[in-house]
Amino acid sequence: MKICTTCVMPSTKPDLHFDENGVCDACNSQIDKNQSIDWKSRENDFLKLVSEYKTHPDYDCVIGVSGGKDSTFQVIKVLELGLNPLCIVFEPTIPTKIGKKNLKNLNSLGVDLIHIKRNPIVYKKLAKEAFIRTGDNEWQNHLGIFTTVPKFAAKFNIPLIIWGESPQIEYGGPAASKTRGYLDRQWLEEFGGLLGNRITDMIGVDGLTKKDLSLYTYANDEEINRVGVTGLFLGYYFKWDLREIVKKSKKHGFSVQDRPVETTYENFENLDCYSNHLHDYLKYVKYGFGRATDNACLDIRLGYIDRDQGVRLVNKYDGRYPSKAVKKYLEYTGFMQEEFDDIVNSFINKRIFERDESGAFVRDIDNSLVRKKEYIVE
């Protein structure tokens, strides 16, 4: 396994590329952000685009929100720029108390908010089947976010959608995804994390019909073209700094936990939904890295910690079994523990994790998987 010589991201991350010096493309993107990109010029480009899309009598743009740090910052930023957004939240799988509090705070910043209460029967069927098929317990929620926001933008005749960070710029990914400052159907299908499973593949699952799944279907091209819907990544036009975003969001009422969340050393990640922490763990069992690696890499690139500190944090926090999140997820889905374990085990990467003589995966006393020596971050 190759590990970036600047941060701690491993080569097991899909679509991650390294240069001749062993530096990953996310770290090289950060160098570009620090040295090459003219952010003032990009801000001017953004303001010019926004002025061209200000055609609605009431709303200047649509923002998909959760109440988390990023969407809180998005709302603060567009309000500072003098825009009036219509905010849309797609109900999380298992909402938390602090998540509800942060969403209420976001609303109180002075925006209109539409809360989509999805059909719980359809959603649970999708959640269970997606987990079995893809090993991603949040597949249906991510899909719902990326399809309902453009759909509502088209319904309300608002052509501009403002998204937050560009994931491929911040975390690494295909070059083609970094040069596009916008999100459309092509981006969703190529980079949106559908894992080869599309909503049409779910027709017939436990009686689900095409009509049942309309909320999870991207708006048709005719509707999108009629309104001229375009989604822009705010992180493409404004320099994205995780800790500055948290700092600014907290100044505007965003709440964090008094302790780290289950899957990393930070207290501000994925606070809106319990099952997000299970999502982070499932990424770890597939690729050998999780949320702690993501956080450490960002902190290293932004200069908040050095690489040695990042290594220690990753080895201490990454891969911890999220017992509370698992308990909540089992209560929600109705999966039995053994059934759940069998599904998770089917997605564990056999190249990365140790197995005993019987072929069973080796676990620590806290139920965390044990990595093979060559896959331990150093």
pLDDT tens digit sequence for 314-360: 999 999 999 999 999 999 999 999 999 999 999 999 999 999 999 99
State the pLDDT at residue 169: 60
Is the pLDDT reported for residue 111 higher than 80?
A: yes
- Are residues 72 and 219 both part of a single domain? yes
- Are residues 268 and 198 both part of a single domain? no
Is the pLDDT reported for residue 167 higher than 90?
A: no
Does residue 20 lie in a domain region? Answer: no
- Are residues 228 and 314 both part of a single domain? no
Is the pLDDT reported for residue 171 higher than 80?
A: no
Distances (CA, A) of 102 to 121, 241, 248, 262, 359: 26, 20, 14, 19, 45
- Are residues 260 and 229 both part of a single domain? no
Query: Which one of 237, 268, 294 terminates a domain?
Result: 237
State the pLDDT at residue 180: 47
- Are residues 209 and 61 both part of a single domain? yes
CA 90 to chain centre: 14
Question: Does residue 67 contact residue 105 with C-beta atoms inside 8 Å?
Answer: yes
- Are residues 88 and 154 both part of a single domain? yes
Is the pLDDT reported for residue 172 higher than 80?
A: no
Residue 291 belongs to what domain range? 25-34+256-375
- Are residues 230 and 261 both part of a single domain? no
Output the CA angle 132-339-189, nearest 5 degrees. Answer: 10
Does residue 246 lie in a domain region? Answer: no
pLDDT tens by residue, 283-327: 999 999 999 999 999 999 999 999 999 999 999 999 999 999 999
Number of domains in the chain: 2
Banded pLDDT at 154 (limits 50, 70, 90): very high
Tokens 């899309």 -> residue:
53
Does residue 16 lie in a domain region? Answer: no
Interacting residues of 344 by C-beta distance below 8 A, sequence separation 6+: 135, 282, 285
Question: Does residue 377 contact residue 314 with C-beta atoms inside 8 Å?
Answer: yes
| 357, burial (CB in 10 Å: exposed 0-12, middle 13-18, buried 19+) | exposed
Give 6's Cβ-side CA count (13 Å radius): 21
Of 26-30, 103-107, 138-142, 182-186, give the lowest mean pLDDT range. Answer: 182-186
Does residue 79 lie in a domain region? Answer: yes
Domain CATH for 179: 3.40.50
Is the pLDDT reported for residue 152 higher than 70?
A: yes
Q: Is 156 helix (H, G, I), strand (E, B) or coil?
A: coil
pLDDT tens by residue, 8-19: 999 999 889 999
Question: Does residue 266 contact residue 214 with C-beta atoms inside 8 Å?
Answer: no
